[in-house]
Amino acid sequence: MSAGALALAGLGTDTAEAAPKKRSPGDLIRVGLVLGEWAHSTGWGPMMNGINGDRSYPKRTGMIYTHVWHIKRENAEAFAKQCGVEHVVNSFDDMIGKVDALIIDAVFQTPWIYKVAEPYLAAGIPVFSDRPGFDAVWKVKKTIELARKYNTPFWCGSSLECMYQRFQAAEHNPPETITGYEIWSEGVPDYYTHGLHGVWWTHKITGGGIHAHSYKTEAWDKGGGVSTIIHNDRGNGPYLGKIIHEKRENCLIWTKFAGKDMVYRYDTGHWQNFVYLPLLLTVQDVFYMGMDGLPETYDSFLEKCKFFLAGFRSCLRENGELVELEDLDEDWAVGCPWGHQHMPGKEIYDAWTKLLGPEKGEIRPPV
């Protein structure tokens, strides 16, 4: 039985804490990839492995994909050929003992991410999961618990959290000085995949402290809509913020704080240098430095995930009304929106269900 199968069967869960691996400057980090749908690794692959697998081409990180798995083997083989990945494996947990870190490049198989990450965390292998990472609060908490138990980092983040403009906005506007804000964030095609960018950007530039989130939209799967956020008093009284999930001035993100003239914005384009690279270097820090490399505390990470899920709960269940983060039903799950016009078909959903078991959720693919 594989290591992952053991973990999923509930065996070996009393394993002692894994000792963080000590790395030396210049170490090349061998990364395993669980390839997803709408895979960001099609953009990350050339930056880590060279162009079309030409490893002599200057790479931009100290990481390299060495192993890859997709639930449809032909997809993994195509990616391996394109990006020069040496090994295509037969199971998502076949990379344990062969890689230094794992990237779960997943936008849609989120109901199962916690199961994919578990055997790697138990083996002392750091894990980064592409957004949104989780579809239920209890899964976030379970994964944090595992990461702490095995002293092995797990992180899930948006590229906008790592951009220079985010650091600039937060540095110029400490949490105790903020009295409100207006943010425009490209939300197309939908809240599940792109609406998260503006939400997690907001969490970072404000420092969190979020009390409640309302998301009103005509149809979550078509993008657009408005988020209203209530922040707790962090020195300047409680205040409101607003995210319009649409482009403004052709910007990926556009931000203005109440009472300030400065606008923090990023035009679309230049993905490799200014969007993908900052994220990959942040992930590399996690892989290289272990728990010390995490870009946020787990308390912050939990709140960030609740922030996103509260918006989904608001639009799916509460008719766009405010949902308090502390009152968010931890057992409620978004589900997986395979099958609508922008997303992969039900066969992929069924394959994941067959592999790792059914997961409940508000959103289900068409029968």
How high is the pLDDT of residue 20?
52
Segment 186-238, tens digit of pLDDT: 888 889 888 999 999 999 999 999 999 999 999 888 889 999 999 999 989 99
Same domain assignment for residues 152 and 187: no
Q: Rg of the chain's alpha carbons, rounded to an integer? A: 20
Same domain, 46 and 182: no
* 183 & 311 share domain: yes
Tens of pLDDT, residue by residue over 246-273, are: 999 999 999 999 999 999 999 988 888 8
CATH of the domain at 328: 3.30.360.10
- Does 224 lie in the same domain as 275? yes
Same domain, 165 and 302: yes
- Please check whether residue 239 lies inside any domain of the structure: yes
pLDDT digits (tens, 9 = 90+) for 97-122: 999 999 999 778 899 999 999 999 99
Q: Which domain holds residue 218?
A: 159-280+298-334
Whether residues 163 and 88 fall in one domain: no
Looking at the domain assignment, is residue 358 inside a domain? no
DSSP 8-class letter at 126: -
Q: How many domains does the chain have?
A: 2
Q: For strand 251-257 and strand 63-69, is the pairing parallel, antiparallel, or unpaired?
A: unpaired
| CA 134 – CA 111 distance, rounded (Å) | 6
Do 135 and 15 share a structural domain? Answer: yes
Beta bridge partners of 65: 31
Q: Same domain, yes or no, for 21 and 103?
A: yes
Long-range contacts of 325-331 (CB under 8 A, 24+ apart): 325/210, 325/211, 325/212, 325/213, 328/137, 329/137, 330/136, 330/137, 330/138, 330/141, 331/136, 331/137, 331/138
19 belongs to a structural domain: yes
Do 323 and 175 have their domain in common? yes
- Reported pTM: 0.92
pLDDT the model gives residue 111? 95
Residues 10 and 152 in one domain: yes
Residue 292 lies in a domain: no
Give residue for tokens 């068409």. Answer: 366
Rounded to 10°, the helix 137-149/113-122 angle is: 10
347 domain residue, yes or no: no
Residue 106 lies in a domain: yes
Same structural domain, 57 and 201: no
Say yes or no: 181 and 244 in one domain: yes
Examine the fold and report which residue of 97, 124, 157 is the final residue of a domain before the chain moves on.
157
Dihedral Cα 333, 336, 339, 341, nearest 10 deg: 90
